[in-house]
Amino acid sequence: MTAVATVTRERAPWAKSAARLLRRPTARLGAGIVAIFLLLTVAAPLLAPYSPFDQDFAAALEAPSAAHPFGTDQYGRDVLSRVIYGSRIALLSIVIADGFGLVVGSLLGLVAGFYGKWVDSAVMRVVDVLLAFPYLLLALIIVAALGPGLLNSMIAIGVVYTPQYARLIRGQVLSVKTTEFVLAAQAIGASRRRVMLRHILPNSFTPVMVMATLSAGTVVVETAGLSFLGMGSQPPSPDWGAILSEGQSYFLTSWWIATFPGLAIFAVVIGFNLLGDALRDHFDPRRRKE
Amino acid sequence: MSGAGHGMAARNLVEVRDLTVEFATEDGVVRAVDGVSFHIERGETLVVVGESGSGKSVTSLALMRLVESPPGRIASGEILLRGRDGAVRDLARLDNHEMRQLRGNDIAMIFQEPMTSLNPIYTIGDQIIEAIRLHQGKSGRAAFALGVDMLELLGIPEPRQRMRSYPHQMSGGMRQRAMIAMALSCHPALLIADEPTTALDVTIQAQIIELIKRLQSELGMAVIFITHNLGVAAEIADRIMVMYAGRVVEAGPARAIFHQPRMPYTIGLLNSVPRLGIDRAAQHELTAIPGNVPSPHHLPPGCAFHPRCAFFERGRCDSEIPRLEECAPGHAVRCLRWRAVAQSRGHEEGR
């Protein structure tokens, strides 16, 4: 055997992979927006010029100016500061709602796909029922049952997303289950649970990452939507949906109150969608241009 | 299960008796393996030969109890294995937990596709260490060291670095070596190799076969080698078992199978392989076996091979199911007309 045995020290696989992902301009744009968004959430107290809650009736409904770049609302609160702090609620909704859907949905899909038979039928019928509802209606039903509030609205959105994750990962599990390395893992004496969690789950996860990124944007819209309808976060919380809702009554005279949180939602959705699309192309071997 | 009642010959490591494996399909139950019996002695190599769909892979998966269930199930028969501790167990009746203790430890298996039989997201080392830690209460460090030793034993250069390589960073031959290292890390008494060289190119094939032969003598393990390649069988076999449509049709010492085949199917297989380096006079024309492997849903009546058989006798071969008979010591054949076959070949073999 004359195999070349020199193992060259290269960049770590993840670094190479990230570099290739960011080669596309749209991917860079998406990643940039998401990065700014994350920076806002972390550095909100440093970046916001005012407190998001401080009222100043002398300065109510002021148009954008040097002192208040995004203007002020009917209580004289600085809209810029509220939008910046609102990013924290948006991030929280991603973590809780998208996270809930991802964890619960993946577990359900994994168990259904792996055990098959009646477990599969039972889980997937429940999933089908959930999918049959229009998503906002389902979310409203769940919030109505749990009671309005920020956390409950996020859980409701999470439940709405669960069936999509369950379906996605079940399909993956079904195909990974038949691969030879799964058989090989069983052949060295690995238990069923070990095969499922250590060998099948990680190999089924790639499309879930793409979906989690893509739905991060829509989750923000939907939690904002519930807040807009008054089912989510309650005043004076600087939730983007809530600010939009309050601002709409002043929209003809003070357009800035509703416009800036709307733009923030728009930017976050665009950012996550671009990043999600880039990830999808990145992980799709057919679309990979080497 | 105690070994007393099984009456297994002392030199045998494995005895399979009357094994039947069935699959439930939409068109009814299919017998992929039908009443197969064989044995393996310690340290010997049994080569199982047959076309796709002959039941050879299912037989080996049944030995590991890895037949996907449902749709498959071991319908009847015994799979006796003499364990490390000397006790004889019937694998067909072992519970899942006990079976897991044996897999990888007493019996190990390697597969056809080295590209897909290693998990792409873990390093070679992770996977060998997993095999070691599942059966031996070793620390991570000790398991790593053992893994390095295994890779070294398999002739992999720079084993330490290779432990940290991912499967996609290695060539097919290297991956198959890594797979073998993983399978052998607990020194099993039996290795089942399911077409381990089929996906490799010829030079690498030869290396892997040499390697398996060497490891076999060094580690003293028995090997069940599944192949459809008679050239490979000739390289490695002590005994050969030929399967057709889920049944054993001929079994015996490798020499006997190659020089005095008695089943027309075996003869057909041998005549369809080119031979190099023997005298010109003995050269024969390459002939293909006419027809195809029968569908397991519609097996022909009588001998399953009769529609393709050159020795077909109307009214007999298509009605009577042949038994496996001994035609020479240790050499069994399932053919109603094996005596006629032997006679017609007499002049050829007599030379």
Q: Is residue A53 within 8 angstroms of chain B, CB to CB?
A: no
When pLDDT is cut at 50, 70 and 90, the band that residue B4 belongs to is very low
Q: Please give the single-letter amino acid code of residue A122.
A: A
Give me the residue label for tokens 């064989």: B38
- Residue B270: predicted pLDDT: 87
DSSP, collapsed to helix, strand or coil, labels residue A252 as coil
Interchain pair A3, B130: CB under 8 A: no
- Residue A154: predicted pLDDT: 94
DSSP A28-91: HHHHHHHHHHHHHHHHHHHH-SS-SS---GGGTTPPS-SSSTT-B-TT--BHHHHHHHHHHHHH
A32 Cβ contact partners less than 8 Å away, ≥ 6 residues apart: A271
Task: Considering only the beta carbons, identify the residue of A3, A179, A192 that sits closest to B157.
Answer: A3
Give residue-wise pLDDT tens across range B146-183.
999 999 888 888 999 999 999 988 888 888 889 988 88
Q: With 90 as the cut, is the pLDDT of residue B68 above it?
A: no
Q: Is residue B166 within 8 angstroms of chain A, CB to CB?
A: yes
Interchain pair B116, A179: CB under 8 A: yes
What's the distance, CA A101 to chain centroid? 10
Rounded average pLDDT over B192-214: 86
- Residue B140: predicted pLDDT: 83
With CA atoms as reference, the chain A residue closest to B174 would be A3
Chain A hits for B103, CB-CB cut-off 8 Å, are 186-189
Per the CB < 8 A criterion, the answer to whether B147 and B128 are in contact is: yes
More confident residue, B287 or B149: B149
Chain A hits for B135, CB-CB cut-off 8 Å, are 189
Q: With 90 as the cut, is the pLDDT of residue B272 above it?
A: no
A36 Cβ contact partners less than 8 Å away, ≥ 6 residues apart: A271
Chain B hits for A283, CB-CB cut-off 8 Å, are none
Q: With 70 as the cut, is the pLDDT of residue B8 above it?
A: yes
Interchain pair A1, B157: CB under 8 A: yes
Interchain pair B121, A203: CB under 8 A: yes
- Residue A290: predicted pLDDT: 43
A to B CB pairs, distance under 8 Å: 78
**pTM for the full model?**
0.82
**How far apart are alpha carbons A171 and A288 in whole angstroms?**
22
Sign of CA dihedral B66, B209, B293, A180: positive
When pLDDT is cut at 50, 70 and 90, the band that residue B275 belongs to is low
HSE-up of residue B65 (Cα within 13 Å, Cβ side): 24
- Residue B70: predicted pLDDT: 75
| Residue A76 structure tokens | 């004289």
Per the CB < 8 A criterion, the answer to whether B296 and B245 are in contact is: yes
Give the relative orientation of helices A99-115 and A206-228 as an angle to the nearest 10 degrees. Answer: 140
Interchain pair A189, B100: CB under 8 A: yes
Q: Is residue B101 within 8 angstroms of chain A, CB to CB?
A: yes
DSSP, collapsed to helix, strand or coil, labels residue A115 as helix
Query: Between residues 199 and 238 of chain A, which touch chain B (CB distance below 8 Å)?
Result: 199, 202-203
More confident residue, A202 or B348: A202
Q: Is residue A185 within 8 angstroms of chain B, CB to CB?
A: yes
Rounded to a whole number of angstroms, the distance from the CA of A185 to the nearest CA of chain B is 8
Average pLDDT across chain B, whole number? 87
- Residue A93: predicted pLDDT: 94
More confident residue, B84 or A224: A224
Rounded average pLDDT over B92-97: 90
Interchain pair B135, A5: CB under 8 A: no
What is the side-by-side order of every strand in the sheet holding B72-82? B28-41, B12-25, B72-82, B88-90
Q: With 50 as the cut, is the pLDDT of residue B1 above it?
A: no
Chain A hits for B157, CB-CB cut-off 8 Å, are 1, 3, 5
Q: Which of A114-123, B258-267, B292-301 has the lowest mean pLDDT?
A: B292-301
When pLDDT is cut at 50, 70 and 90, the band that residue B346 belongs to is confident
- Residue B123: predicted pLDDT: 92
* Residue of B102, B119, B179 to mutate, interface with A, max A Cβ within 10 Å: B119
User: Residue B188 burial by CB count (10 A; 0-12/13-18/19+): exposed, middle or buried?
Assistant: buried
Q: Is residue A187 within 8 angstroms of chain B, CB to CB?
A: yes
Chain B hits for A199, CB-CB cut-off 8 Å, are 119
What's the distance, CA B257 to chain centroid? 16
When pLDDT is cut at 50, 70 and 90, the band that residue B6 belongs to is low
Rounded average pLDDT over B46-53: 89
Report the percent of chain B where pLDDT is more than 70: 94
Rounded to a whole number of angstroms, the distance from the CA of B239 to the nearest CA of chain A is 25
Q: What are the residue ranges in chain A where pLDDT is below 70?
A: 1-11, 285-290
Sign of CA dihedral B191, B197, B200, B201: positive
- Residue B331: predicted pLDDT: 93
Q: Is residue A46 within 8 angstroms of chain B, CB to CB?
A: no
- Residue B125: predicted pLDDT: 92
DSSP, collapsed to helix, strand or coil, labels residue B75 as strand
Interchain pair B158, A187: CB under 8 A: no
DSSP-derived secondary structure letter, A279: H
- Residue A86: name the closest of A227, A253, A216, A249 by CA: A227
